[in-house]
Amino acid sequence: MLLAGSDTSAVTLEWAMANLLNHPDILVKAREELDKQIGEERLVDEADISNLPYLRNIISETLRLYPAAPLLVPHVSSEDCVVGGYHLPRDTMLLVNAWAIHRDPNLWTIPDPNLCDDPLSFRPERYENGGKESYKLIPFGLGRRSCPGAGLAQRVVGFTLGTLIQCFEWERSSEEEVDMNEGKGITMPKEKPLEAICISRPIVNKFFSLR
């Protein structure tokens, strides 16, 4: 459980940073939110995450497009049933493909007509204004057998991502966009590990000066 929790959080952070590097306008908006809500007199804390809706939306959109566990925990049908027109005998093992559901064009739209509604586009704005989109997210499963570490994972990722954005300016290591191809594994890593350039912001010198 500890290994799964740390690995999935690390994978999600890498995907989130990769998306932000490919969408610098979103990165700027996230930094502005942190500067407005937290300022430069203290570092972001876990308790601040609830007051950073755009940061949470970035995490939700990352989990939508790049769920760390694209296939959810297997279930077994307790009786004969029909799902999506398919007859499933009792004791059939069922796998939910969260990756495919999260990219289904019949499910995902953006409430703002000025934004692209391509379900493959990275748009944290999907979850603004209390839209129904957040209820379609199932990166942690649903019901009694959903991931017990969902809350912890969201706090860890939110706190870490917020700290990275608050403390550093980020740039791609080359003019080319970050490669977003997926690798192989139980969790879904990037095919090519993320490489980026970070430059410390003044808040780093204020709180981590060695003098």
Tens digits of residue pLDDT in 39-71 = 989 999 999 999 999 999 999 999 999 999 999
Average pLDDT across the chain, whole number: 89
- Domain borders along the chain are 2-70+102-196
Top-level class of domain 2-70+102-196: mainly alpha
> Which is more confidently placed, 131 or 97?
97
Does the pTM exceed 0.85? yes
68-79 average pLDDT score: 90
3-state secondary structure of 180: coil
> Which is more confidently placed, 139 or 117?
139
CA distance 19 to 163: 17
pLDDT of residue 207 exceeding 90, the answer is: no
Q: What is the pLDDT of residue 155?
A: 92
Nearest to 133 by CA among 119, 146, 145: 119
> Which is more confidently placed, 191 or 206?
191
3-state secondary structure of 119: coil
Hunting for tokens 């493909």 — which residue is that? 97
Instruction: Judge whether 147 is annotated as a binding position.
Output: yes
Question: Which token pair is 203?
Answer: 């808040």
> Which is more confidently placed, 129 or 162?
162
Q: What is the pLDDT of residue 101?
A: 93
